[in-house]
Amino acid sequence: MTFYDHTVKTNKGEDFDLSALRGKVVLVVNTATGCGFTPQYKGLEALYEQYRDRGFEILDFPCNQFRNQAPESDAEIQQFCTLRYKTQFPRMKKVEVNGENEEPLFTFLKAQQPTEEVKGLKAKATLKAIAKLSDTAKSESDIKWNFTKFLIDREGRVAGRYNPTVEPKKLEGEIAALL
C-alpha cells in the first residue's frame, strides 16, 4: 500500500482519492482550532501560497483527540480557518490519528515514519510536557499532539515527520528541494 492508495473524506463528506495528488509534494497535518499551535495555520497558508503553483499541496486533518481542542463541526472548523487565517488548502473531515478508530492514512504514515527528530531544549521541554497531557499516544509511533506534520515526496514516499514545535517556515527548504 502507498500514500496514493488511500481515499479520505473531505470536510463535506465526499471521497477524496489521494491518487489525484500523484506527482505532487504533499504536507499532511493534523490540526485543531483551539490548540496553542493553531497560529501555525498562518505559516501553513504562507507555504501553500508560495509553492502550490509548483506542485505543492497541504491536506489539513482536524483532530479532536488531544484535550478536546477541535470540538466544532467540520463546517465550523472550515469557517474558523478561512475567516481567521484565510486558509485555501483542502481541509478533510475531522479524524482520529491514534487508536482503534484512527484514520487509515495516519496508520500508514506512522508506519512509514514512526518518530520525528526533536531539536533544541525548548522543543524537547515542550514535547515532554505534551507527553504528560496526551492520553491517546500509547506507542512511540503514535502522534503526540496536533500540528504533527508528514511531508510526502512526488513519488508518494514519506520524506519526513515533524513534531508540533516545528514551525511551517522551517520546512520551506525541504519542500523546495522536493519540488
**Strand 25-31, strand 56-62: pairing:** parallel
In this structure, what are the phi and psi dihedrals at residue 121, rounded to the nearest 5 degrees?
A: -65, -40
71 grid coordinates: 470540538
The pLDDT assigned to 121 comes to: 85
Catalytic residue among 27, 28, 29, 35: 35
Number of domains in the chain: 1
Other Cβ atoms less than 10 A from the Cβ of 2: the count is: 14
132 grid coordinates: 504528560
From CA 112, how far away is CA 10, in angstroms rounded? 23
The pLDDT assigned to 131 comes to: 76
The pLDDT assigned to 122 comes to: 81
Cell numbers 496514493: residue: 4
- Domain residues for the domain of 60 are 3-178
What is the dihedral sign for C-alpha 75, 80, 83, 87?
A: negative
Q: Which residues pair with 149 in a beta bridge?
A: 29, 162
**Strand 149-152, strand 25-31: pairing:** antiparallel
Q: Is 63 annotated as catalytic?
A: no
Residue 173: enclosing H or E segment and its boundaries? Answer: helix 172-178
Q: Say which CATH number the domain at 158 has.
A: 3.40.30.10
In this structure, what are the phi and psi dihedrals at residue 74, rounded to the nearest 5 degrees?
A: -60, -40
pTM: 0.95
The pLDDT assigned to 85 comes to: 98
Residue 48: enclosing H or E segment and its boundaries? Answer: helix 40-51
DSSP assignment of 116-138, as one string?
Answer: ----SHHHHHHHHHHHHH-SS--
Amino acid at 32: A
Residues 84 and 69 sit within 8 Å (Cβ to Cβ): no
DSSP 136: S
pLDDT mean values, one per 10 residues, the chain (179 residues) = 96 98 98 97 98 98 96 98 98 97 98 86 80 77 95 97 96 98
